[in-house]
Amino acid sequence: MSSAQPSAATDLDATDLSSLFTYLIELCSTKSDSNEQQSIAQVIRPLFTKSLESSPSFYRFLNPLASTPKINKKNGTTKRTPAASNKKLKKKPSKSPQRKRKDSIPDGGSAAASSRPSSAKERQSESESVSLENPVIPHMSQDEVILKLLKAIEFSQDEVATIVLCSLLRGYAVACKDPVGQRRLRRLVRLDAANYCLRAMRPLMSEKNPSPLQILACDALSLGLIHVSAKDRKITLKVRLSGMIPLFNRRIMEAERLWTSSTLLRLVCRCCLRSVRNAQVMGNADKNFAERFVAVLEAYNGIEFQAYSEAKAFAAGEIESMSYETTSQTLLPFEGDAEFEVNAAANEAALKMARLIEILYLVSKNRKFFLFN
């Protein structure tokens, strides 16, 4: 069913894809049927490629003011022209200002007063007439559009839709020039984007045995939260108040499982344990946290070494198959490429081991709450 949809939708261009995104955002933000969300998301997912995700021009539909730059220019010129004319009038009457003032009172009359656009009310009415005559003016501001996207991520009832919307949010924040990116990140902080992502992430983290799509959705939310919270100074406080630290703690203790990915561990390091208070809460979550965490590191060290050894032996042609411990470290569409599968699993195991060591360092900095026996 899903394989037939991309082939039928290959003729869609970027404009049609932005319309599909708008429709999907509307469906998710209004909590519509999950089957309809899934059908639209499955059409979007193969079309929203990496090249299109990194294209800054694709995200113009999220910025409604970008399509009306001429209106701003016209308003700017109307404001500047009276100022230039006033300067010229001031230079001429410098020799005999009284004579011109006496002549201008009877000669101007009501006609001169009506011809001058110096009144503030008249200027405002002129600008309003220009804006009302132009039908391209959007009905929603950019803040309202991004807020609707964040609500769609929170209220999404399908994992594929969550993955697609997180990719859209991440591209909006990253795929642009640095000054524009800084303004967009500040806008996301002002709209409290981190809490929307955390609320969408909580039910996925509460699953004890998540499905592969739920794992990918959790990774997409983690990666989006890392990028969105780059300018958020209160991200560690938001993580603690959202109650995510016990869920992070449980996933850390299940490091050998597939659902504990390197992206999730990176989120723990960047957005949670940078706060001393969060490190204390995680260290005090369990009395035997230190012993359990060291046991996890010892066990996973063996898995990481095994994955590296199998990848090296497979590249040399010494083995033809791989163990379950190695293949269960990553979840990627390998498409039958066994060498890429082994290398990807080995790289994922190395990244997870590096993040676990970083977590150990961040938690153990406060020795009062983290002591080894």
pLDDT in tens, 183-209: 999 999 999 999 999 999 999 999 888
Residue 308 maps to a domain: yes
Mean per-residue pLDDT over the chain, rounded: 75
Q: Which amino acid is at 90?
A: K
Domain check: are 213 and 328 in the same one?
A: no
Cα–Cα distance for residue pair 80/94, rounded to 1 Å: 23
Q: What angle do CA 53, 55, 59 make, to 5 degrees?
A: 80
> Which of 214, 244, 274 finishes a domain?
244
For the chain, what's the residue count? 373
Query: How confident is the model over 2-48, as pLDDT tens digits?
Result: 344 443 444 466 778 889 999 999 999 999 889 999 999 999 998 99
Residue 40 maps to a domain: yes
Cα–Cα distance for residue pair 6/46, rounded to 1 Å: 6
Nearest to 49 by CA among 17, 84, 15: 17
For residues 79-103, average pLDDT: 45
Residue 162 maps to a domain: yes
Of the listed ranges 55-59, 303-307, 353-357, the least confidently predicted one is 303-307
Residue 261 maps to a domain: no
Domain check: are 216 and 358 in the same one?
A: no
Q: Give the chain's domain count.
A: 2
Maximum separation of any 2 CA atoms in the chain, in Å:
105
Domain check: are 181 and 317 in the same one?
A: no
Domain check: are 201 and 322 in the same one?
A: no
Q: By the 8 A CB rule, do 167 and 53 touch?
A: yes
> Which of 207, 225, 244 finishes a domain?
244
Domain check: are 145 and 225 in the same one?
A: yes
Domain check: are 236 and 304 in the same one?
A: no
Query: How confident is the model over 40-88, as pLDDT tens digits?
Result: 999 999 899 888 888 888 998 887 765 444 444 445 443 433 444 444 4
18 burial level (CB within 10 Å; 0-12, 13-18, 19+): middle
Q: Which domain holds residue 319?
A: 289-364
For residues 301-327, average pLDDT: 74
Cα–Cα distance for residue pair 166/25, rounded to 1 Å: 11
* DSSP letter, residue 96: -
For residues 313-333, average pLDDT: 65
Encoded tokens for 125:
């009415």
pTM of the model: 0.72
